[in-house]
Amino acid sequence: MTSYSALEEVVRRRLRQGPVRGLYSAMRRGLEGRAKAIAEMGDYEAFRSEARRIKERSVARFSELVDTFTRNAEKRGAKVYFARDGEEAVKIIVRIARDAQARLVAKSKSLTSEEILLNDGLQAQGLNVIETDLGERIIQLAREKPSHLVFPAIHKTLEDVNLLFSEEARREISSDIREIMNYIRQRLREIFLTADIGFNGANVAIAEIGAVVLETNEGNGRMTSSLPRVQVVLVGIEKIVETVEEALILAGAHAVAATGQRLTTYVSIMAGRSPMAGDSSREMHIVLLDNGRSRMLSEDIFREALYCIRCGACMNVCAPYSVTGGHIFGHIYPGPIGIPWTANIHGLDEASFAHLCISCGLCKEVCPISINIPLMISRVKNLLASRYGYPKADKSMMRYETLGKLASQLAPVSNWFLKTRASRYLLEKLVGLDRTVPLPEFRRDTFVKRFNRVRVEVPTPRARVALFLDFFPNYCRPEIAESLVTALQLAGVKVELPPQLTSGYPLIAYGDWEGAKKYAARNVELLSSYVEQGYSIVSIEPTATYTLKNIYPYLLKDDGRAEALAKNTLEALQVLWGLVSEGLLTVRARFKKRYGIHVPCHQRPLSGVENVLALMREAGLEAVVIEDGMCCGMGGTFGLKRGPIGRELSKAMGARLFEFFNSGGVETIVTESSVCAIHLAEGANVEVFHPLDILCFEKPS
């Protein structure tokens, strides 16, 4: 178990060493490959929905599919075993090896085998187990764990690898990569040809024909599954689908999301044990593994983890993972999806790296099965909190609304207080708020107080809008909300400001489900009557919009009003661009600069950069979108917290993006998120504006 303070310590050490070498390039490469493949695919969203439906269907019927698969595989002479847990699976495989009088096992990459520590179990019985996937072989020789699902040894340099293989060969191998490959090819050929058992996992299993599907790029899986006399296949029961078509669709989804290939180089569908040159005395053993999977199935929130096809795409967008790497951001299963898997399979205590998740939500967006990983992580944090309590800083951050209200009531004194070194030192000690992080100015004259001054009667409104403010536009940046309301009213839109709370997203981020549900229920209560009267809810902050649209319906599954609220919630810029396109408003620039746009994470599943770009272009402004494929690192309130699980990690996550802004010659950054603005202004040392600061809306003459 890694306690919170132990986790802080490993992260601090990592930060001192700098990000894991080569990791970001691997992640980037995966993302770019994926983006290119998707662009060529046509309707990727339809494909993605189909892949999800397959997993939903299969997982829901998994006990029936286990039976069908077993029956059909056994008809072909394969021996099928069902292992309730890892220990049982290892015992079964050891028994198979003993019966076969095996000594040497050639193994193809299988995360499921790592889940059950199969190698340890086999080696304890005196078996020689050789990993044959290059990356896995490297980490086997280095006695480490994989740090990435697709590139397990990405943290190793060519020199590291050369050293490992030279030691193994007991001679010096040249550091030329081709020379290394030749050595591996020859060395592993001997293994393939002499192994008694070939072991492989399965990416998918097909119930209707009792077949297993194995995807590899290197071709080692083809050898382990064909050359040795005895073949052992370990399959997690969540991998079984009903039909061949379903398996092919998942093979495509896997390759596209993992590396941007249309398929991995070899997709092998194997049913029964084929003879070798006419010799049919060969064996196929298939071990179906439960190990907590059926329990996950019965838990609504964690069921989705079973849909995972292990493509690794979620790791490629995860900013904290990009800095800390899979050895810290992972147990045996690394990365975002590793959190719910670890909590369920290896125990909650092993999943404490959940605290590193900054709740940016991007892993869900990139997942080919649209798995709601962020909410599962939030639930893991929730379970950790019920066991150990919330970390101090998390607890304070969840009280943001009370603190904001107080700071605003006491402004300007509070602003002065928040600037003194003594008070910041005190706050850091008492509530975990980092003493060096820049804080926004709080306004006594909040937007709620100003609204009646801004509001005008619109006698025959063309539309009606109820404003959803959230924290910053009310307490710190009321002029943004004011510009929005003024523009809407100019276009003949009636604007109301219903009583409301802030969105409550930080509670989700730190795992307080009960608290978050209260926020959701209260806001749904307060806003629903407006929705029912035909108002659109217009929200300014991307995280608030995301919460209303994506989180509330999940938290309040039984309340239809939450779904209605989600459907009727619009983004502020989306509405403004709509009015400009209809000719009801014109837009001009207040000042021209070399702008760089930062798209906040929660904006990406909404309209992305579409509306801000359209409005800026219409106003005659040029802007480039600058991103590194991940979160800027602020993660809402995460970057306000003291220490390595907070500001220190947050700055390390942002370093790349700051550099991109600086090297891109950007004079001014534009972003819709107020917290990203704080982080970017400090990190990139460039002024940052909200689009509504730089755009001016007028009535067409």
Partner 1 sequence: MRINEKKVALFIERFRGQGGIVELVQSWDEALDLIERKARTVAGPVAVATCDRKRLDGIRKRLDGISRLVGPHASPTDIAGCSLGITFPAAGIAETGSILEICYDDSDRLVSTLPSNHIAYLESFNILEGLLEVAPLVRQASRQNNFSATIISGPSRTADIELRQVVGVHGPQAVTVLLKV
Q: Which is nearer to ligand SF4, 570 or 630 (CB)?
A: 630
Residue 262 touching partner 1 (CB under 8 A):
yes
CA 645/CA 357 separation, integer angstroms: 9
Q: Which does 552 bind (CB under 5 to 8 A by kind): ligand SF4, partner 1, none?
A: none
Q: Which does 23 bind (CB under 5 to 8 A by kind): ligand SF4, partner 1, none?
A: none
Q: Which is nearer to ligand SF4, 311 or 584 (CB)?
A: 311
> Listing from the earlier edge strand, what are the strands of the sheet with 463-468?
493-496, 463-468, 536-539, 569-571
CB of 220 to partner 1, least distance (A): 5
- Of the candidate residues 147, 220, 370, 414, the single one contacting partner 1 (CB under 8 A): 220
- Of the candidate residues 38, 227, 385, 521, the single one contacting partner 1 (CB under 8 A): 227
Phi, psi of 153 (to 5 degrees): -110, 30
CB of 435 to ligand SF4, least distance (A): 25
Number of residues near ligand SF4 (by CB under 6 A): 29
Residue 207 touching ligand SF4 (CB under 6 A):
no
- Of the candidate residues 46, 60, 193, 430, the single one contacting partner 1 (CB under 8 A): 193
Q: Which is nearer to ligand SF4, 65 or 358 (CB)?
A: 358
The tokens describing 596, both together, are 């760089």
Q: Which is nearer to ligand SF4, 319 or 615 (CB)?
A: 319
| Single-letter residue type at 389 | G
CB of 27 to ligand SF4, least distance (A): 11
List, in sequence order, every residue forming a beta bridge with 671; answer none if it has no partner.
598
Phi, psi of 408 (to 5 degrees): -75, -40
Per-residue burial over 168-177, b if 16 or more Cβ lie within 10 Å, else e, is eeeeebeeee
Q: Which does 542 bind (CB under 5 to 8 A by kind): ligand SF4, partner 1, none?
A: none
Inter-CA distances, 180 with 158, 163, 218, Å: 9, 10, 15
CB of 36 to ligand SF4, least distance (A): 17
Kindly indicate which of the ranges 26-34, 236-244, 363-371, 580-588 contains the residues binding ligand SF4, using the contact rule CB under 6 A: 363-371
CA 257/CA 30 separation, integer angstroms: 8
CA 325/CA 131 separation, integer angstroms: 22
Q: Which of 201, 159, 165, 202 is nearest to 181 (CA)?
A: 165
The tokens describing 342, both together, are 């670890």
| DSSP codes of every residue in 428-457 | HHHH-B-SSS--PPP-SS-HHHHHHHH---
Inter-CA distances, 583 with 542, 580, 595, 619, Å: 25, 5, 25, 14
CB of 311 to ligand SF4, least distance (A): 4
Q: Cα 577 vs. chain centroid, distance in angstroms?
A: 30
Kindly indicate which of the ranges 263-271, 516-524, 576-584, 610-618 contains the residues binding partner 1, using the contact rule CB under 8 A: 263-271
Q: Is 122 exposed, middle or buried (0-12, 13-18, 19+ CB in 10 A)?
A: buried
Query: Which helix (H) or strand (E) segment is 169 a member of?
Result: helix 158-169
List, in sequence order, every residue forming a beta bridge with 536; answer none if it has no partner.
465
Binding mask 307-346 for ligand SF4 (x = CB under 6 A): -xxxxxxx--xxxxx--------------xx---------
CB within 8 A of 83, min separation 6: which ones? Answer: 89, 92, 287, 288, 289, 290, 291
- Of the candidate residues 164, 240, 363, 497, the single one contacting ligand SF4 (CB under 6 A): 363
Q: Which does 264 bind (CB under 5 to 8 A by kind): partner 1, ligand SF4, none?
A: partner 1
Residue 361 touching ligand SF4 (CB under 6 A):
yes
Q: Which is nearer to partner 1, 41 or 655 (CB)?
A: 41
Q: Which is nearer to ligand SF4, 341 or 442 (CB)?
A: 341
The tokens describing 230, both together, are 């005895």
Residue 130 touching partner 1 (CB under 8 A):
no
CA 665/CA 656 separation, integer angstroms: 15
The tokens describing 478, both together, are 């009321």
Q: Which is nearer to partner 1, 32 or 618 (CB)?
A: 32
Q: Which of residues 371-400 bind ligand SF4 (CB under 6 A)?
A: 371, 373-374, 377
CB 165 within 8 A of CB 158: no
- Of the candidate residues 55, 156, 364, 598, the single one contacting partner 1 (CB under 8 A): 156
CB of 420 to ligand SF4, least distance (A): 33
Q: Which is nearer to partner 1, 73 or 397 (CB)?
A: 73
Residues that bind partner 1 (CB under 8 A): 22, 25-26, 29, 76-77, 132-135, 138, 151-154, 156-158, 161, 177-178, 180-181, 184-185, 188-189, 192-193, 209, 211, 217-220, 222-223, 226-227, 243-245, 248-249, 251-252, 261-278, 282
Residues that bind ligand SF4 (CB under 6 A): 257, 308-314, 317-321, 336-337, 357-363, 367-369, 371, 373-374, 377
